[in-house]
Amino acid sequence: MECAYCGSDLARYDPVFVEEATGGPDGERESVGGFCNYACLHAWVEDEALVYGTACEWSPDG
Ligand SMILES: [Zn+2]
């Protein structure tokens, strides 16, 4: 498995795994992926925030 942000092999790290609420009625969660450390997790979150910021009217119901 690779870091969802930088693509490093997680076997060489103490990885951080993230789940995200899908917004479904049952509070379902889906795995976002693993990160090799919190620095990558933080960088990924910031990138995701930028994506959401440019698509603020996006809706899962489309
Ligand atoms: Zn990484």
pLDDT of 36 reads 96
Segments of the chain with pLDDT less than 50: none
In a domain, 1, yes or no: no
pLDDT of 45 reads 85
pTM to 2 decimal places? 0.66
| C-alpha 59 to ligand 1 mean position (Å) | 29
In a domain, 50, yes or no: yes
pLDDT of 24 reads 84
pLDDT of 17 reads 92
Neighbours of ion ligand 1 (CB under 5 A): 3, 5-6, 8, 36, 40
| C-alpha 1 to ligand 1 mean position (Å) | 11
User: What is the maximal distance between C-alpha atoms in the chain?
Assistant: 40
| C-alpha 30 to ligand 1 mean position (Å) | 20
In a domain, 60, yes or no: no
Number of structural domains found in the chain: 1
**Cβ burial, residue 41 (10 Å; 0-12/13-18/19+):** buried
In a domain, 42, yes or no: yes
| C-alpha 54 to ligand 1 mean position (Å) | 24
In a domain, 28, yes or no: yes
28: domain range?
10-54
